[in-house]
Amino acid sequence: MIGMPKAAVLLCEGFEEIEGVATIDILRRAGIDVTLVGVGGVIVAGSHGIKMHSDMRFLDASFDGFDCLVLPGGPGHDAMLRNDSIVKLVHKMNREGKIIAAICMAPKVLLKAGILADKRATIYPGFEKLLDRPRDSPVVVDGNIITSQGPGTALEFGLKIVEVLVGAPKAAEIRKQIVA
């Protein structure tokens, strides 16, 4: 990878704000080029009414240059599950060996895309039965897949993405900066 990695964060109506904003912030602190992609529009409201202005609409986006796809959870995960283009994108990026990171209920999108078979993963507590190899850890990495449990694990999720994309020293530097 030449230069800093590029990450796309999908924002659907009803996304969990802590998971989206904390992850975006951590990635940007690491110097990762983060693009916010609004599914359904440029202005996207989270599950608690906080509105985010995305950099581009999903319909207009090309994901060829991205190294990582981030899927925040929350009630917005249902919109991702219903969107065949998102499910196909997840499958395509996985086939290309790109990093796919999903938190809270968003790992269900990875399940629908068929990329969690025989992978260690985590999901929002109480839904572990959906996974082939569930782990009771805040963040789980298996190959190019990063999963996390929910809003309270968002900082660790973001730091793990940084570690995978940029390296452990950068993740440790950010952890120190934010006093985590």
- Catalytic site positions: 104
Nearest alpha carbon to residue 72 among 164, 170, 146, 143: 146
Q: Phi then psi for 40, rounded to 5 degrees?
A: 100, -10
* Distance of alpha carbon 5 from alpha carbon 3, whole angstroms: 6
* Distance of alpha carbon 107 from alpha carbon 70, whole angstroms: 11
Kindly give the residue spans of alpha helices, DSSP state H, lying in the chain: 17-29, 77-82, 84-95, 107-112, 154-165, 168-177
Kindly give the residue spans of alpha helices, DSSP state H, lying in 35-82: 77-82
* Distance of alpha carbon 100 from alpha carbon 69, whole angstroms: 5
Nearest alpha carbon to residue 68 among 17, 12, 24, 120: 24
